[in-house]
């Protein structure tokens, strides 16, 4: 019997000159957080965090989209990523090594959660963001845990409830990202932050991160577990099942009226 072919890697890690670059490379599904992507992203993050050669971690992507959120083709009644995605966000949030997100393309739903779990984030000005969960009948539960401490409350109310897309300049204004720059300056700006972070002592950077995270780092496991249960219940609900079906069938869900 012929052994099954190994799956091609969808997330890559390269460590060079003190910078660990973790690259989402699943452009066929807009870098959606499939089970394989989540598994590989968590493994590479752990490797980078554990490496003495990595002083800074940069999370980036191939293709025109940073991350489209959960891969709804893999959705089931338990909800996609209900176990490993919360753990991925937690590891990024408490990482002693600073993490920078580099966005040359849009982020949606869970993809915005990845951005929020990073310490710094730089996006090209034409990048857009959106919390699309309510439009498919579910709740932005798990990603709320890293988002609530950093995004202006009034903006989060508006954007969570409406699902309206917003641009990188607004993302910076409300605290979601660190800065928005012209696309041709994106790499230089990410390098600038990485170079500044490499000037800091690793222990001092880790201690400063712990200070800044404060109580949120200590309560995060319980918060994420609670929100994972909320997420699973919503994906299993009638609205959640209808929303996912409508998304996959490229039609409006049943609750949308003229």
CATH of the domain at 132: 3.90.226.10
> Residue 72 contacts by C-beta under 8 Å, 6 or more apart in sequence?
32, 80, 136, 244, 247, 248
23-64, pLDDT tens digit by residue?
A: 999 999 999 999 999 999 999 999 999 999 999 999 999 999
* 240 dihedral zone (left: phi>0; alpha: psi -120 to 50; beta): alpha
For tokens 């940073």, name the residue: 66
Q: Within a domain: residue 205? A: no
Inter-residue contact 104 to 61 (CB < 8 Å): yes
Total number of domains constituting the chain = 1
10-residue block means of pLDDT along the chain (258 residues)?
Answer: 67 98 98 96 98 98 98 70 87 96 98 98 98 96 96 98 98 98 98 98 96 85 94 93 95 92
Predicted model pTM: 0.94
Catalytic residues: 133
Domain of 42, in residue numbers: 11-184
* pLDDT (0 to 100) of residue 1: 46
HSE-CB of 136 using CA atoms within 13 angstroms? 25
Distance CA 91, CA 42 (A): 8
Q: Within a domain: residue 191? A: no
């Amino acid at each position: 019997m012929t052994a099954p072919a190994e799956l091609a890697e969808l997330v890559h890690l390269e460590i060079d000159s003190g910078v660990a670059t973790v690259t989402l490379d699943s452009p066929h599904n807009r870098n959606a957080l499939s089970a394989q992507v989540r598994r590989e992203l968590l493994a590479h993050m752990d490797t980078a965090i554990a490496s003495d050669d990595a002083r800074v971690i940069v999370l980036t992507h191939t293709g025109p989209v940073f991350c489209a959120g959960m891969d709804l083709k893999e959705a089931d009644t338990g909800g996609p990523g209900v176990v490993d995605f919360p753990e991925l966000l937690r590891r990024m949030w408490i990482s002693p090594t600073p993490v920078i997100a580099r966005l040359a393309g849009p982020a949606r739903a869970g993809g915005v959660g990845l951005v929020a779990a990073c310490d710094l984030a730089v996006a090209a000005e034409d990048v857009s963001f959106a919390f699309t969960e309510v439009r498919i009948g579910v709740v932005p539960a798990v990603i709320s845990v890293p988002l609530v401490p950093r995004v202006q409350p009034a903006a989060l109310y508006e954007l969570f409830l409406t699902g309206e897309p917003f641009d990188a300049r607004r993302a910076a204004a409300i605290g979601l990202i660190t800065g928005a720059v012209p696309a041709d300056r994106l790499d230089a700006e990410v390098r600038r932050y990485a170079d500044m972070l490499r000037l800091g002592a690793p222990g001092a950077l880790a201690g400063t991160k712990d200070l800044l995270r404060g109580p949120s780092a200590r309560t995060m496991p319980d918060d994420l577990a609670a929100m994972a249960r909320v997420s699973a219940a919503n994906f299993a609900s009638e609205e959640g099942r209808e929303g996912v079906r409508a998304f996959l069938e490229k039609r409006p869900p049943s609750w949308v009226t003229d």
